């Protein structure tokens, strides 16, 4: 049998359903308000709004899922990934306004440059950064606080440098000094400087730029001329060395030929001397008999054998036999190879007679 639902029961059921939906909505709202997630590349800061430790006294750094009491606490997130900003005069980079940085040299010449900065926030120092600026937008901090710090560092460093160093060889040192100053000052607030660069060429007044370019060109020409002088000197030295080498070779060749002539003459003279000293009347008669064919002349008036006679005393310059034999023995004891005479000094090291 069908039982009808009274209006009172229907109303009661509707109230129960609405109460359940309200409870679910309240739980959902409370959950969304109290549970937060700190994404990767970020850091969260719990700020206590009430109690004895409120304010900057207690701001712990949190990550991941975080429970926050919306009544007494606030969660502030900071990105810790690398941020890149550029301050340039062109509207096509950075922001549409001219944010390039101008600084002055020691002579008071204004120099303009496009500068870019890469940095990230040290997670442990994020509470200090928030406590000082009450700002979570890093772009706003970069285009204001960080830019002013970079501009001041450039002005301080370049005020001690002449413009030719800033524009020329001292540019690298300038950038290194400025980077160090910026890192020291921003580091206390949690900024970690990854890179500071000057984009493109520095912009100088036209007359100053032309004067510097002319001076640099003159310096380059002087260096090239000096290198050319060194090259010519090296080529001349090489030519002199080659000429001296050729002359020395020719002198050695001529000396060798002269020594050869002297050695040959000495050898012939020594040979003649040995022959002269070894020639006696008996030897000459023996040689004559060797040459005779045994035939007597057709006419012989004296009846004696027609043998040659020699005055041996003139051959040996009046030396007696003992003296002649001693000198001949000395000559023979010197060896077969001839010795270079003292008049030929270039051949004195000849192995002959050693």
DSSP letters for 162-219: -HHHHHTTTHHHHHHHHHHHHHHHHHTTTEEEEEEEEEEEEE--HHHHHHHHHHHHHH
Same-domain pairing of 29 and 137: no
Mean pLDDT of the chain: 75
Most confident among 6-15, 143-152, 247-256 (mean pLDDT): 143-152
The answer, yes or no, to whether residue 151 has pLDDT greater than 60, is yes
Q: What is the pLDDT of residue 81?
A: 87
Same-domain pairing of 98 and 162: yes
Read off the CATH number of the domain in which 144 is found: 3.30.479.30
- Residue-wise pLDDT for 234-244, tens only, equals 888 888 888 88
Least confident of 155-169, 172-186, 259-273: 259-273
Q: What's the structural domain count of the chain?
A: 3
- Residue-wise pLDDT for 265-311, tens only, equals 878 777 777 777 777 767 767 777 777 666 766 655 555 555 555 55
pLDDT band at 69 (very low <50, low <70, confident <90, very high): low
Same-domain pairing of 325 and 268: yes
Same-domain pairing of 226 and 200: no
Q: What is the pLDDT of residue 136?
A: 78
Least confident of 45-49, 247-251, 300-304: 300-304
| Residues forming a β-bridge with 115 | 87, 198
Q: What is the pLDDT of residue 202?
A: 85
* Percent helix, strand and coil across the chain, each to the nearest 5: 55, 15, 30
Tokens representing 296 are 């007597």
Tokens representing 334 are 């010197």
- Residue-wise pLDDT for 217-226, tens only, equals 777 777 887 8
**38 inside domain:** yes
- Whether the CB-CB separation of 282 and 315 falls below 8 Å is answered with no
Q: What is the pLDDT of residue 181?
A: 95
Same-domain pairing of 22 and 140: no
CA 32 to chain centre: 61
Same-domain pairing of 339 and 224: yes
**91 inside domain:** yes
**18 inside domain:** yes
**6 inside domain:** no
Point out the domain boundary residue: 76, 109, 129: 76
Same-domain pairing of 72 and 99: no
Same-domain pairing of 287 and 240: yes
pLDDT band at 228 (very low <50, low <70, confident <90, very high): confident
For 114, the domain range is 83-204
| Whole-number Å distance between alpha carbons of 104 and 112 | 9
**290 inside domain:** yes
pTM greater than 0.85: no
Q: Residue 43 burial by CB count (10 A; 0-12/13-18/19+): exposed, middle or buried?
A: buried
Q: Residue 286 burial by CB count (10 A; 0-12/13-18/19+): exposed, middle or buried?
A: exposed
Same-domain pairing of 68 and 91: no
For β-strands 83-87 and 61-62, DSSP reports them as unpaired
What average pLDDT score do residues 205-231 get? 76
Point out the domain boundary residue: 76, 106, 123: 76
The answer, yes or no, to whether residue 122 has pLDDT greater than 80, is yes
**93 inside domain:** yes
Same-domain pairing of 30 and 106: no
| Whole-number Å distance between alpha carbons of 198 and 171 | 9
What average pLDDT score do residues 299-328 get? 62
The residue with tokens 């023996």 is 286
- Whether the CB-CB separation of 114 and 150 falls below 8 Å is answered with no
The residue with tokens 């290194």 is 176
Q: What is the pLDDT of residue 178?
A: 95
Closest CA to 76 of 130, 122, 132: 130
**1 inside domain:** no
pLDDT band at 180 (very low <50, low <70, confident <90, very high): very high
Higher pLDDT, 28 or 266: 266
Contacts 24+ apart (CB under 8 A), 94-103: 95/143, 99/143, 99/147, 100/203, 101/147, 101/150, 101/151, 101/154, 103/151, 103/154, 103/155, 103/158, 103/159
Same-domain pairing of 92 and 107: yes
Phi, then psi, of 192 in degrees rounded to 5: -110, 115
Most confident among 25-39, 179-193, 218-232, 252-266 (mean pLDDT): 179-193
Q: What is the pLDDT of residue 346?
A: 44
Same-domain pairing of 102 and 23: no
| Whole-number Å distance between alpha carbons of 347 and 265 | 13
pLDDT band at 345 (very low <50, low <70, confident <90, very high): very low
Point out the domain boundary residue: 145, 173, 204: 204
Q: What is the pLDDT of residue 341?
A: 46
**257 inside domain:** yes
- Whether the CB-CB separation of 85 and 199 falls below 8 Å is answered with no
The answer, yes or no, to whether residue 52 has pLDDT greater than 80, is no
| Residues forming a β-bridge with 110 | 104
pLDDT exceeding 70 applies to what percent of the chain? 64
């Amino acid at each position: 049998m069908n039982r009808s639902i009274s209006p009172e029961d229907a109303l009661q059921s509707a109230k129960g359903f609405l109460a359940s939906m309200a409870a679910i909505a309240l739980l959902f709202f409370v959950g969304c308000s109290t549970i937060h997630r700190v994404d990767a590349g970020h850091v969260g800061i719990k700020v206590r709004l009430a109690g004895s430790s409120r304010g900057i006294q207690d701001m712990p750094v949190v990550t991941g899922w975080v429970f926050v009491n919306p009544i007494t606490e606030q969660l502030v997130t900071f990105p810790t990934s690398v941020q890149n900003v550029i301050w340039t005069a062109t509207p096509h980079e950075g922001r549409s306004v001219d944010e390039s940085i101008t600084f002055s040299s020691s002579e008071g010449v204004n120099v303009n440059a496009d500068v870019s900065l890469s940095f990230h926030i040290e997670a442990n120092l994020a509470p200090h950064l928030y406590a000082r600026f009450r700002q979570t937008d890093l772009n706003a901090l970069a285009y204001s606080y960080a830019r002013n710090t970079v501009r001041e560092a450039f002005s301080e460093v370049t005020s001690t440098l002449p413009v030719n160093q800033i524009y020329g060889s001292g540019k690298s040192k300038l950038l290194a000094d400025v980077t160090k100053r910026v890192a020291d000052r921003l580091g206390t607030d949690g900024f970690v400087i990854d890179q500071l660069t000057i984009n493109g060429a520095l912009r100088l007044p036209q007359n100053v730029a032309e004067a510097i370019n002319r001076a640099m060109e003159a310096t380059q020409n002087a260096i090239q001329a000096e290198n050319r002088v060194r090259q010519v000197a090296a080529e001349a030295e090489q030519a002199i060395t080659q000429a001296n080498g050729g002359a020395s070779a020719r002198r050695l060749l001529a000396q060798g030929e002269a020594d050869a002539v002297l050695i040959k003459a000495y050898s012939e003279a020594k040979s003649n001397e040995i022959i002269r000293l070894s020639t006696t009347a008996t030897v000459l008669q023996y040689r004559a008999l060797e040459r005779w064919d045994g035939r007597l002349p057709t006419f012989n008036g004296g009846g004696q054998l027609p043998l040659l006679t020699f005055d041996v005393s003139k051959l040996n310059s009046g030396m007696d036999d003992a003296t002649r034999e001693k000198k001949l023995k000395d000559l023979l004891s010197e060896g077969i190879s001839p010795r270079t005479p003292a008049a030929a000094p270039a051949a004195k090291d000849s192995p002959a007679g050693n």
